[in-house]
Structure 1
Amino acid sequence: MNDPQHLDYDALNALKEVMEDDFGFLIETYLKDSSDRLVALHELVKSENADLIRRTAHSFKGSSSNLGAVFLASLCSVVERNALDQKFFTLPEDVSRIEAEFLIVKQKMLDFLG
Structure 2
Amino acid sequence: MSDSPLDHAVLSALHEVMEEEFVVLLDTFLADSQERLRQIRQALADGDSQAMRLAAHSFKGSCSNMGAPLLAGLCKQLEDLAQRGQLASAPALVEQIEAAFLVVHDLLQDERRGLTR
Q: Confirm or deny that 1:45 pairs with 2:61.
A: no
RMSD between aligned alpha carbons? Answer: 1.1
Gaps of 5+ in 1: none
1:1-114 matched pairs, under 5 angstroms: 4-113=3-112, 114=114
Q: Percent identity?
A: 40
User: TM-score, with normalisation over the residues of structure 2?
Assistant: 0.92
State the Cα deviation string for residues 19-65 of structure 1 (Å, max 9, x = none): 00100000000000001111111111111111111010000000000
d(CA) in 1 for partners of 2:72 and 2:17?
22
User: TM-score, with normalisation over the residues of structure 1?
Assistant: 0.95
- The one-letter code matched in structure 1 to 2:64 is S
d(CA) in 1 for partners of 2:83 and 2:68?
23
- Partner-residue secondary structure (3-state), 1:7: coil
Aligned pair count reads 112
d(CA) in 1 for partners of 2:34 and 2:64?
16
Displacement of 1:5 in angstroms is 1.4
Displacement of 1:4 in angstroms is 2.5
Gaps of 5+ in 2: none
d(CA) in 1 for partners of 2:91 and 2:3?
21
- Partner-residue secondary structure (3-state), 1:4: coil
d(CA) in 2 for partners of 1:47 and 1:78?
19
d(CA) in 2 for partners of 1:88 and 1:66?
26
- Partner-residue secondary structure (3-state), 1:5: coil
Q: Which contiguous aligned blocks of 4+ residues in structure 1 show a shift greater than 3 angstroms? A: none
State the Cα deviation string for residues 72-113 of structure 1 (Å, max 9, x = none): 000000000000111111111111100000000011111112
